[in-house]
């Protein structure tokens, strides 16, 4: 088993990777007790080469690998790439790998399921069974056994074989462009933004009053700064529910903190509690100065609920008909927006999604097509408008 621990060896390996059209990449990391993920292994495989890289090896410089990540001639192939991309984003000082191909997203467009697990995808396309005996390895410990390294490397050797099959399926079906928007979304830098002032975006605001929004932004930013400085999960400082309750109640004294259900008892009198109280005091002294400003979304038209339910049924029918995961076509919020407005500015009403579903959603909404049950299955049929007018 090839385990790279020297920079010169990594440079040679990456030079070979860079000559290929694609490289399958996976990582093993630990973050249960830290804010920042601790990278333990990187597995990489090109068409004719594969290796496990040890980022913990003393003196190892990952620069050659990062050069491959940013080489626009090499497609980086991941499965469920979000956390892997987060790691490379941090290692590269805010630059994301590109171009990227996510096998899980591709599988949705190929009709292989919604958010399909890696082992299920390998079984479906390669007819291989993954040995999970080393699944719960502590990848930060050294030395790693041959069995553990073999298990880790298999993640990319299977992925290397999956990529041409998945890409070929999508090209044959004319669906490769279907995943472009999803892949572009993966590479949106906002997904990996750890700036404390933007931490409130992880939370769903419950109110729209300016003092609530000012407190929410201040409390979320305070928690993010503390978690980053201590390198602990943000939930170890305060849970999300506690941040929401702090924003709603705006405590400024130890006693006020102790009356909150989601805040640990004694927090208000602690050093952290006093610091948060001061942060809130500053933010609320002028809640309109720097705080976020959100407009309350318009209420859906009355009686729109049944329309949404019918659109959900149509979405399932169209997804099954075309062999694609429903979530790739439209989200729940897309359906709500379409039910409320014919001019909804959502992905389901643009491009291939409109051709596949969006236009039919409007037809259903306006009675030009109808749903019915036939032999236990949902059928979609055009409505004879002349007959309906006579009726």
Do 128 and 145 reside in the same domain of the chain? yes
Going by pLDDT thresholds of 50, 70 and 90, the confidence category of residue 256 is very high
Mean pLDDT across the stretch 36-64?
97
Mean pLDDT of the chain: 94
Whether 229 has a pLDDT exceeding 70, the answer reads yes
Mean pLDDT across the stretch 112-141?
91
Q: What is the DSSP letter of 245?
A: H
**Which residues, in sequence order, are bridge partners of residue 29?**
39
| Sign of the dihedral defined by the CA atoms of residues 168, 169, 173, 175, in that order | negative
Mean pLDDT across the stretch 41-58?
97
Going by pLDDT thresholds of 50, 70 and 90, the confidence category of residue 288 is confident
Do 63 and 156 reside in the same domain of the chain? yes
Residue 318 in 3-state DSSP? helix
Burial of 70 (0-12, 13-18, 19+ CB in 10 A): middle
Encoded tokens for 80: 């469920």
- Predicted TM-score (pTM) of the model is 0.89
Encoded tokens for 61: 């410089």
- The per-residue pLDDT for 390 is 43
CA distance 232 to 32: 9
**Which residues, in sequence order, are bridge partners of residue 52?**
3, 43
Do 17 and 162 reside in the same domain of the chain? yes
Mean pLDDT across the stretch 1-14?
93
Domain that holds residue 201: 196-285
- The per-residue pLDDT for 134 is 83
> How many domains is the chain built from?
3
- The per-residue pLDDT for 386 is 60
Residue 339 belongs to domain with CATH number: 1.10.150
Structural domain ending residue among the three candidates 250, 285, 320 = 285
Look at the chain and count its residues.
391
Residue 231 belongs to domain with CATH number: 1.10.150.80
Residue 275 in 3-state DSSP? helix
Do 184 and 202 reside in the same domain of the chain? no
Mean pLDDT across the stretch 100-106?
97
- The per-residue pLDDT for 375 is 87
Tens digit of pLDDT for each residue in 22-33?
Answer: 999 999 999 999
Structural domain ending residue among the three candidates 192, 220, 251 = 192
CB 103 within 8 A of CB 162: yes
- The per-residue pLDDT for 13 is 97
Mean pLDDT across the stretch 262-289?
93
Q: CB count, 10 Å around CB of 200?
A: 23
Task: Evaluate whether residue 254 is within a structural domain.
Answer: yes
- The per-residue pLDDT for 385 is 67
Burial of 302 (0-12, 13-18, 19+ CB in 10 A): exposed
- The per-residue pLDDT for 117 is 94
- The per-residue pLDDT for 2 is 74
CA distance 32 to 146: 25
- The per-residue pLDDT for 75 is 98
Encoded tokens for 284: 């609320």
- The per-residue pLDDT for 164 is 97
Give Cα 8 distance to the centre of its chain. Answer: 34
Structural domain ending residue among the three candidates 285, 315, 349 = 285
Mean pLDDT across the stretch 345-349?
96
Whether 387 has a pLDDT exceeding 60, the answer reads no
State the number of CA atoms in the 13 A half-sphere of 59 facing the CB.
5
Beta strands in the chain (DSSP E): 3-4, 22-30, 38-46, 49-53, 75-78, 100-102, 369-374, 377-382
State the number of CA atoms in the 13 A half-sphere of 96 facing the CB.
21
Q: CB count, 10 Å around CB of 168?
A: 12
pLDDT above 70 coverage of the chain, percent: 98
Mean pLDDT across the stretch 318-344?
95
Going by pLDDT thresholds of 50, 70 and 90, the confidence category of residue 391 is very low
Residue 51 in 3-state DSSP? strand
CB 143 within 8 A of CB 40: no
Mean pLDDT across the stretch 231-242?
97
In 3D, which of 145, 178, 159, 17 has the Cα closest to residue 84? 159
CB 275 within 8 A of CB 284: no
Task: Evaluate whether residue 295 is within a structural domain.
Answer: no
Task: Evaluate whether residue 290 is within a structural domain.
Answer: no
CB 268 within 8 A of CB 238: no
CA distance 243 to 220: 7
Do 39 and 181 reside in the same domain of the chain? yes
Q: CB count, 10 Å around CB of 50?
A: 20
Do 148 and 212 reside in the same domain of the chain? no
Whether 389 has a pLDDT exceeding 60, the answer reads no
CA distance 157 to 150: 10
Do 245 and 158 reside in the same domain of the chain? no
The C-alpha angle with vertex 262 and arms to 256 and 268, in degrees rounded to 5, equals 35
> Which residues does 135 contact at the CB level (< 8 Å), separation at least 6?
151
Mean pLDDT across the stretch 66-92?
97
- The per-residue pLDDT for 109 is 96
DSSP string, 177-223: GGGHHHHHHHT-GGGG---GGGGGGGS--S---HHHHHHHHHHHHHH
């Amino acid at each position: 088993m090839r385990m790279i621990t020297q920079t010169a060896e990594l440079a040679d390996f990456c030079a070979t990777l860079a000559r290929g059209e694609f490289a399958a990449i996976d990582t093993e990391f630990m973050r249960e007790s830290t804010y920042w993920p601790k990278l333990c292994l990187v597995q990489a495989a090109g068409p004719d080469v594969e290796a496990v890289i040890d980022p913990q090896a003393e003196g190892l410089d990952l620069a050659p690998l990062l050069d491959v990540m940013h080489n626009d001639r090499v497609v980086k192939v991941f499965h469920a790439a979000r956390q892997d991309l987060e790691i490379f984003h941090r290692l590269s000082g805010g630059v994301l790998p590109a171009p990227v191909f996510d096998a899980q997203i591709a599988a949705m467009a190929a009709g292989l399921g919604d958010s399909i697990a890696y082992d299920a995808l390998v079984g479906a396309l390669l007819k291989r069974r993954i040995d999970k005996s080393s699944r719960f390895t502590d990848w930060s410990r050294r030395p790693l056994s041959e069995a553990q390294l073999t298990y880790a490397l298999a993640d990319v050797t299977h992925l290397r074989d999956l990529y041409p099959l998945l890409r070929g399926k999508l090209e044959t079906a004319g669906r490769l462009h279907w995943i472009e928007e999803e892949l572009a979304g993966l590479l949106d830098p906002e997904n990996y933004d750890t700036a404390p002032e933007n931490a409130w975006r992880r939370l769903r605001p419950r109110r729209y009053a300016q003092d609530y929004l000012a407190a929410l932004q201040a409390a979320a930013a305070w928690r993010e700064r503390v978690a980053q400085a201590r390198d602990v999960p943000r939930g170890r400082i305060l849970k999300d529910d506690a941040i929401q309750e702090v924003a709603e109640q705006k405590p400024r004294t130890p006693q006020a903190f102790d009356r909150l259900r989601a805040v640990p008892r004694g927090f208000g009198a602690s050093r952290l509690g006093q610091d948060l109280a001061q942060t809130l005091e500053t933010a609320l002294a002028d809640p309109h100065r720097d705080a976020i400003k959100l407009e309350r979304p318009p209420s859906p038209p009355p009686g729109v609920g049944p329309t949404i339910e019918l659109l959900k049924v149509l979405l399932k029918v169209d997804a099954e008909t075309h062999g694609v995961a429903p979530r790739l076509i439209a989200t729940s919020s897309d359906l709500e927006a379409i039910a409320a407005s014919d001019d909804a500015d959502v992905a389901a009403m643009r491009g291939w999604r409109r051709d596949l579903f969006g236009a039919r959603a409007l037809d259903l909404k306006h009675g030009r097509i109808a749903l019915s049950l036939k032999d236990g299955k949902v059928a979609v049929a055009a409505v004879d408008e002349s007959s309906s007018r006579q009726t």
